[in-house]
Amino acid sequence: MSADKEIIEAALFVSGEPLDVDQLRNLVKGKNVRSLVQELINEYNGRSSPLEIKEIEGRYVMQVKPEYADRVRSIAPKELRSPVLRTLAMIAYHQPLTVADLVDRRGAAAYDHVRELEESGLVSAAPQGRTRLLQTTPRFAEYFNLESSDPEAIRRKIIELAREQKMGLDKWLGKQGIGVTPMYESLMGLCGISEYEVVNPYTPTEEEHDRIQELGVLVLSKGYEKKVSEYFNGRIIEISSTTFEELVNSINILAEYGSKMKVKESIEKIAELKEDYIEKTFSITVKVAPQTDMVSRMVNELRLGIASDGVKIAPDYGTSGEGKEIGGGADILIPTHKNAEVDVVKRICQRYDAVIEGLKKFKK
């Protein structure tokens, strides 16, 4: 058993790239490879060794720990040249991406870059009409020491690389930054994002339509991605802020583009506000009957009792997107759209105040 484990260790050492279970099993004649590799992983974790063994999507690799990588980088295999790395970043961030679109963004040199990336095994290309469709391979995750090939993990890595090279993501990807709808402009401040553009992606003018297409990231309300993605090929981030919890989740999603300190500060303040409002409902015993899902999420966060014959609470927008009448006969109306605060935090507070003040009139 010890000999088998040593053979596996030697194989991982000389390979230089991840090996799957079948490859290792052939070396030790069908032994329980997974348990042997796990023993090795535990042993390396217990040592003060600069090496580690990791599992990446079902394959195993021996590699230098991140904290030692920079010290030995000068004698490691040649890294990608900066122009090639940026081309790879664009493919990874926008994948799947056609060669034609890539060349439009990066110029004719992208043809050579793609050839180099294919030879290195970082990118694969599949025929699509007269062009080819590009996307990253599992080797990409291995090369950048990622846990998986999940698209979101890859996008986070691209943002990290842009920061390491002290360049904005927009410049790195040939894009012009972040676009946000007016409803969520105040969210940029909560995240510490200073460079952004306020746009209307839902019903844009022809001029605005062209400007939006130049953006790298678009922040909009949940439920509109399908509509906007018909003409926008950058990253779309759908967010919501009906409740304090949803607002915190939205801040966490955008945190990668902002300031860690500002994000932490904002989340702490929002948590305090949430507790303050929950405390205000302690004395309210009357039950409520939410008329929409939005109102349900609000009253659940406020920890109010719910009953079918309770106080009816509805938004004040009159009809739903399907033309259904909402709010008719409601006891309490919550301000929305034009009647609501522009600032996202003030907007939640305004709606919660409307609920709490309204319920005080029904207090038993």
- Whichever domain contains 53, its CATH number is 1.10.10.10
Examine the pLDDT at 71 and tell me if it is beyond 70.
Answer: no
Q: Which of 264, 291, 307 is the last residue of a domain?
A: 264
Let me know if residue 322 belongs to a domain. yes
Least confident of 24-38, 98-112, 256-270, 319-333: 319-333
Work out the angle at residue 169's Cα, subtended by the Cα atoms of residues 203 and 263, and round it to the nearest 5 degrees.
85
Let me know if residue 312 belongs to a domain. yes
Whether 295 and 314 have beta carbons less than 8 Å apart is answered as yes
| pTM, entire model | 0.55
Mean pLDDT of the 110-136 span: 88
Q: Which of 209, 231, 264 is the last residue of a domain?
A: 264
Task: Count how many domains the chain has.
Answer: 4
CA 268 to chain centre: 21
Least confident of 5-9, 150-154, 252-256: 150-154
DSSP string, 197-244: EE---SS--HHHHHHHHT-SEEEEETT-HHHHTTT--SEEEEE--SSH
Residue 209, token pair as written in the block? 């339509």
pLDDT attached to residue 323:
47
Q: Which residue has the higher pLDDT, 42 or 78?
A: 42
pLDDT 10s digits, 281-326? 998 999 999 999 999 999 999 999 999 999 999 998 765 444 455 5
249 confidence band (pLDDT: 50, 70, 90): very high
pLDDT 10s digits, 184-199? 999 999 998 887 889 9
Which of 236, 146, 221, 153 lies closest to 187 in space, CA to CA? Answer: 221
Which of 243, 362, 251, 245 lies closest to 307 in space, CA to CA? Answer: 362
Other Cβ atoms within 10 Å of 223 Cβ, number: 10
Least confident of 154-163, 209-218, 266-275: 154-163
Can you tell me the distance from the alpha carbon of 333 to that of 294, in angstroms, rounded to the nearest whole number? 12
Other Cβ atoms within 10 Å of 240 Cβ, number: 16
86 confidence band (pLDDT: 50, 70, 90): confident
Q: Which stretch, 123-132, 148-157, 172-181, 347-356, has highest mean pLDDT?
A: 347-356
Let me know if residue 249 belongs to a domain. yes
352 confidence band (pLDDT: 50, 70, 90): very high
Can you tell me the distance from the alpha carbon of 18 to that of 52, in angstroms, rounded to the nearest whole number? 12
Which of 11, 48, 44 lies closest to 27 in space, CA to CA? Answer: 11
Q: Which residue has the higher pLDDT, 175 or 60?
A: 60
Can you tell me the distance from the alpha carbon of 280 to that of 273, in angstroms, rounded to the nearest whole number? 11
- Whichever domain contains 214, its CATH number is 3.40.50.1980
Is 256 found in the same domain as 318? Answer: no
Examine the pLDDT at 4 and tell me if it is beyond 70.
Answer: yes
Burial (CB count <10 Å: 0-12, 13-18, 19+), residue 1: exposed
Examine the pLDDT at 89 and tell me if it is beyond 60.
Answer: yes
* Residue 343 amino acid letter: D
Let me know if residue 276 belongs to a domain. no
Residues spanned by the domain of 201: 178-264
Let me know if residue 353 belongs to a domain. yes
Q: Which residues, 6 or more positions from 278, have their beta carbon under 8 angstroms from its beta carbon?
A: 301, 302, 303
Q: Which stretch, 22-26, 62-66, 76-80, 284-288, has highest mean pLDDT?
A: 284-288
Mean pLDDT of the chain: 82
364 confidence band (pLDDT: 50, 70, 90): low
pLDDT 10s digits, 253-284? 888 778 888 999 999 999 999 999 999 999 89
Other Cβ atoms within 10 Å of 206 Cβ, number: 7
30 confidence band (pLDDT: 50, 70, 90): low
